[in-house]
Structure 1
Amino acid sequence: MALANTAFFASSSGLRRCRVSDLDFAPQLSPYESLTFFPLSYRSTQPGLAFSRKKNILHASINGLNAVNSTSLQMQKSDQDADYIPMPIVLIDQVSDSDVTIVQLSFGDRLGALIDTMNALKDLGLDVSKGTVSTEGSVNQTNFFITLLDTGRKVKDPDMLERIRLTIINNLLKYHPESSMQLAMGEAFGIKAPEKKLDVDIATHIQVKEDGPKRSLLCIETADRPGLLVEVIKIIADINIEVESAEIDTEGLVAKDKFHVSYRGAALNSSLSQVLVNCLRYYLRRPETDIDSY
C-alpha cells in the first residue's frame, strides 16, 4: 500500500504526513506543536507499518549512523521517585518476522538516541536497517530490526544472538550505570551490584507446552548469567532436538526464554519433553564446578 513508507505526526493544525524515506533524522517538533497520537485501528499487510490502540508508536527509517531520536518523543514526566530505578529489559524476537531479528530495549524513559548501541551492533557485523520507538505509559521501547551485514539475513547463530544481548547490556551498564542494580552482570561490571541475588533453584522454571502437531513450545525462566543462551541451545542440541525459533527476554536479573522446538519434524512427545526438562533443570541449577577438579 502507499502508506507503507509513511510516518504520521500530529500538530495543533491537524494530522501531517511525510515519507520516512525523506527523513534523515527523527522529526523535531516546534515549541508550538504538541505530539499527539490517535487510537487508529489500522493494520497493514506490509512490514514496518502498524498502529495499535494500546501503544503510541512512531516508525522511522535509520540510515548510516542516524538513530531514532527518542528525545523528540518525550511525554509527560511521571511522578515516580527520583531514586526509582526502572526495570531494564532486552528482548530478542526471532518469531515475529521471518526476515529480520528484532531487538527491543527499554529502561523506563531514560534511554536517549542510542547511537552508541547502534554503533556497537554494527561493530558485530550487523546491519540495523530500521528502528522504531514506542511509548506505553511511562516506558519508552526502542526496537531495532537487525540483519547480518554480509548476507542481509536474520541472525540465527546462538553465539551471535548472545553477543547481541551482552553488547546491549554492556552499553546499558556503561551509559546508564544505575542499571547495574537491576542486572545480573551489574555484580561484576557495574558500579553497584544488585542488592538481592536470585536463588537459582527457586528462580528456575521449565515447561514444555503444546504448539501444534509439528512443534512444541519450550518456556524457560531462570537467573540470568553470561553465556546462558548458548548453554541452553547446546543442551537442546545434545538430545537431537531442533530449535526452530526463539524469543530471548532478559528482564533485570531474570532470563525468560521461549523456544519453538521439534524432533524429526514433529512435536515432542511426553517422554522426550520430560527428558528435555530434566536435562535443562540439571544444567541450569547445578553449582559452578571447576573443570580441572575432575
Structure 2
Amino acid sequence: MLEVREVTHTYAPSRRWRRSEKQDNVLSGVSLHIEEGTCLGLLGSSGAGKSTLGRVILGLEPPRAGQVLIQGQDLYKLSPQARRTLRRDLQVVFQDCYSAVNPRMTAEQIIGEPLSNYESLSVQEQKRAVGELLECVGLSAADMQKQPYQFSGGQLQRINIARAIALKPKLIVLDEAVSSLDMINGAKILRLLGELRAAFGLSYLFITHDIKAACMISDALAVMDQGRIVEYNDSKEQFLQSAHPAVRSLLDSMLAAHPRNRHRELADMPGASAQ
C-alpha cells in the first residue's frame, strides 16, 4: 500500500538567519512500508521527525531525495490530475481536532467537504451519506447541524475521522490522533479505529509517542530517532526486547501505577500483538 524509499528532507534556513554551514537533515534516508489492511505504529520522541515524515507521505512537503510510492505510484512524479485522483485514497487525521476544522462549518459541511470535491451526489444523497458516516463513528445523524464548539474533543475527533473515511480511502495517516484526548476518549477512539479498519480494510500510519496506544492498534512498530528509522519490529514482543537506546528511552518514559509494573502493564495489554 505504501512504500517510502530513502527519503531525506532538510528545512531551508530563513534568510535572516541563513548560514554558510551545511544544514542538518530532518529526515535521513528513511525507508518503511505498510501492507494493505495493516497498521504501522511510528514511535519517537518529540523532534524525531515523525510528523515531518507524515507530511512528506501526504504530499504536503516534497522531500529533498527519495520516493514515496502509494499503490506503486510515485506521489511526487505524478501529474497534478493524477495526484488529485490518488489523494482520495490518502487521508489524514491530525492531533488538534479543533484547528483541523472550520469553526463556522456544521458537522454536515465538514464531513461532506471531500464528498463535494470528489463525488457527484445530489443534496439528498450527500445528506444521507453524511448521516451514515456520523452513525458509523458513533454519533447521530441528528448531529449534522451542530458546529464544532457544540462537540466535546472526543466527539469532534470522531467528526474528523468520519471526514477521513468519507471517500473510503486506502490509507489514513493518523498524526498523534489521540494524544490530545483524555484516557477514556483516547481508548474509545482507538477501538473505533480498529473497528473501522476491520470493516473497510483500511491501512494506517499511526504516528505517536504513546507506546500503549501504538501497541493497542498496530501490527508492526517502527521507531524514529534524529530523523532516522532506528528500529523496526513485527511484533510488540520484539519491541519490548529491543536493546536500542531510543527504544529503551521510550519504554523508560512510560508511566505506570508503580515503576516496576511498567513493562508488565504493557505486556498484558489486549490486542497489542500483530494480528
Query: Normalising by structure 2, what TM-score?
Result: 0.26
- Bigger Cα Rg: 1
Structure 1 or 2: more helix by fraction? 2
Structure 1 or 2: more strand by fraction? 1
Higher relative contact order (CA 8 A, sep 6+): 2
